[in-house]
Chain A
Amino acid sequence: MSTQTLLPESFQALEPYAVGWALGGSAVRAARRGNSTPGEREAFYAAAVGELPRALDYLDAKGFAAFDDADERLMNLMLSLGHVALAVEQQKGAETRHARDRAHMRITHTPAGA
């Protein structure tokens, strides 16, 4: 059985979410939020929200230039958390309908890569 991890060692608690949420591209992350189920969002949010400050501190200390693949995935995971948090913290029960309307707003450019 493989023991290979996708995220930096100190973030093993988030491993179950790496495949589904550590996604490259702002538009892809936004679309993942839009296509997710309430259960997926709530589980990811609950697991990740408490790790956000530590993750950003860890990544800041390392700096983009020193990122390895695992760091890149952790960055993308936290960026996805930002999208999901808008559903969980702000839209709440309105998210399903909101997602349908939001699909009209096409993300075309971001500093992180659209």
Chain B
Amino acid sequence: MNSPTTFTPVGQDELDWLGTDPVPATPYYDPEWFDLEREAVFRRSWQQIGHVCELPENGSFIRRELEVLGASLLITRGKDGEVRAFHNVCTHRGTLLVDEAQGKRNTFSCPYHMWTFGLDGGLISAPDFESFHVTKAECALPPVACEVAGGLIFVHLGKPESSLREWLGPYANKLDMMPVARATTFSEYVYDIAANWKLTYDNFQENYHLRFIHPSAAGPVTSPDNPFAYPTAYDFHGPHRSQRIWTKPDMPEPTPVQGMAFQRGAACAMADGILGGETAKDYLGLFPNFFLFGSPMQHFSHTVYPIAAGQSRGVIRLYWIGEDETPSERFAREYFMATARDVHTEDRAVIERGHKGLASGALEHLHFQTQESLCRHLFNMVSEKVEAYRAECEGVGA
């Protein structure tokens, strides 16, 4: 148990295997490196894309854009209840099939020539189809590998070498234990950022910056023996990583409205049976671009979608179990969302500033300290995959 005099940060000896060298700066802004990442990282990884609560009924669908691979995806819940993903592309001549971001229906008709597809991706009808020289079976929507863990929907746009659960390893069970697995709704805010996805993501996997960038939020969670609010533990599994959040043992009194939100929110979380879970302090970083924080009161996910070498989009969600059952619950949820949004606002501003500096080309290297080892791990994983892909390409070309 933490006390003001017993906090010990994770030692470098536990992290030596990650290396200590300066890290090259180019991969954080170079368009050529980014193009390699598209194939080496994003084409070859499971990527979080949504949650099953967005598909509450058979016939529900969502459309998602994965700009990093130039893909538009249609994710449906079929008449059999199965969640499936397809390229949102009419198989006639490639027209994007669905415009709406979400909805419910049994068929999808292409506006161009009215080819009509079912929830399972099959081509149901096409005007004057007898004049074509293919079968309907050959014209089904192109499927995309799609699996669910902890209620979260993941897609794989390449050829998966393992199932999603194998890919996630022990973190799959953690997802199952977290409130997200039971979530039925969420609060969401979205930001665009002129910054590389890794630089953006890294900000959220180190606490070194908290006291400087978040002076209001960090004050109550730091202490003289842990002035940077460093975590109590790190964990790694394959390309994924996690930290265990340190909790200050003698938290100061909350401010009046903050206290009311905590009090009312805690009562709701208790009613939902999610207080005191063993994953409450786990902060998972699932490769390549997804975070989930186990806190029952502010159970948020954060996905950093790459758009270009210097452009990304962040999607932050606070997952909730059940609709707002009482006005107190509604108040607490809106307050918690607004609190998280305030903190992430401060992050966004400084990340853009960081990208601008790096993209100037002024630095050959950047530096990670011991307590920024999760950032180093992400770089190592990306670099390993890019180098392997490069070697493959060179082998093919030789």
Is A6 among interface residues, defined by CB-CB distance under 8 A? no
Q: Does A47 contact B (CB under 8 A)?
A: no
With A53-B260, A85-B258 known as contacts, the answer to whether A112 contacts B328 (CB < 8 A) is no
Q: Does A49 contact B (CB under 8 A)?
A: yes
- Asked if A39 is at the interface of the complex by the 8 Å CB criterion, the answer is no
Note all chain B residues with C-beta closer than 8 A to A109. Answer: 186-188, 317
A105/B258 in contact, CB under 8 A: no
Question: CA A90 – CA B257 in complex, angstroms?
Answer: 10
| Residue of B192, B261, B334 with highest tally of chain A CB at under 10 A | B334
Given A85-B258, A90-B217, A105-B344, residue A112 in contact with residue B190 (CB < 8 A): no
B216 within 8 A of A: yes
Tier of interface size on chain A: 35 or more
Given contacts A56-B260, A98-B346, A104-B192, contact A82 B335 (CB under 8 A): yes
Query: Interface range on chain B: under 10, 10 to 19, 20 to 34, or 35 or more?
Result: 35 or more
Q: Establish whether residues A81 and B345, one from each chain, have CB atoms under 8 Å apart when the complex forms.
A: no
A4 close to B (CB within 8 Å): no
Asked if B392 lies at the interface with its beta carbon under 8 angstroms from chain A, I say: no
Measured in the bound complex, the distance between the Cα atoms of B346 and A81 in whole Å is 21
Does the CB pair A101–B345 fall under 8 Å?
yes
In whole Å, how far is B256's beta carbon from the nearest beta carbon of chain A? 5
- Within 8 Å by CB of A52, from B190, B257, B333, lies B257
Which chain B residues in 271-304 approach chain A with CB under 8 Å?
none
| Cβ–Cβ contact A111 & B256, under 8 A | no
The docked-state distance in angstroms from the alpha carbon of A114 to that of B255 is 26
Q: Whole-angstrom distance from the CB of B245 to the nearest CB of chain A?
A: 20
Interface segment out of the listed B123-131, B167-175, B319-327: B319-327
A29 vs B346: C-alpha distance in the bound complex, in angstroms? 20
Q: Is B191 interfacial (CB 8 A cutoff)?
A: yes
Interface string of B355-396 (1 = CB under 8 A from A): 000000000000000000000000000000000000000000
Task: Closest B residue to A80 by CB, please name it.
Answer: B334
Residue from B320, B323, B331, B341 in contact with A78 in the complex, judged by beta carbons closer than 8 Å: B331
B residues within 8 A CB of A60? Answer: 326-328
Closest A residue to B186 by beta carbon equals: A109
Nearest CB in chain B to that of A110: its residue: B187
CB neighbours of B189 from chain A (8 A)? 105-108
Chain B neighbourhood of A56, CB < 8 A:
260, 264, 327-328, 331
Smallest CB separation, A70 vs chain B (Å): 13
Interface residues of A in 70-114 (CB under 8 A from B): 75, 78-79, 81-83, 85-86, 89-92, 94, 98, 101-102, 104-112, 114
B337 near A: Cβ within 8 Å? yes
Q: Are the C-beta atoms of A112 and B255 separated by less than 8 Å?
A: no
Residues of A within 8 A of B64 (CB): none
Q: A94 near B257 (CB under 8 angstroms)?
A: no
Residues in A whose Cβ lies below 8 Å from that of B185? 111
**Is A30 on the interface with B (CB-CB < 8 A)?**
yes
Q: Is B3 an interface residue (CB 8 A)?
A: no
Which residue of chain B has the shortest Cβ distance to A104 in the bound complex?
A: B191
Given known A79-B334, A86-B338, contact A111–B320 (CB-CB < 8 A): yes
Query: Besides the contacts A26-B187, A29-B334, what 13 more A-B pairs have beta carbons closer than 8 Å?
Result: A59-B327, A60-B326, A64-B327, A75-B327, A79-B330, A82-B334, A83-B334, A89-B256, A89-B258, A105-B190, A106-B190, A111-B185, A111-B333
Residues in chain A within 8 A of chain B (CB atoms)? 26, 29-30, 49, 52-53, 56, 59-60, 63-64, 75, 78-79, 81-83, 85-86, 89-92, 94, 98, 101-102, 104-112, 114
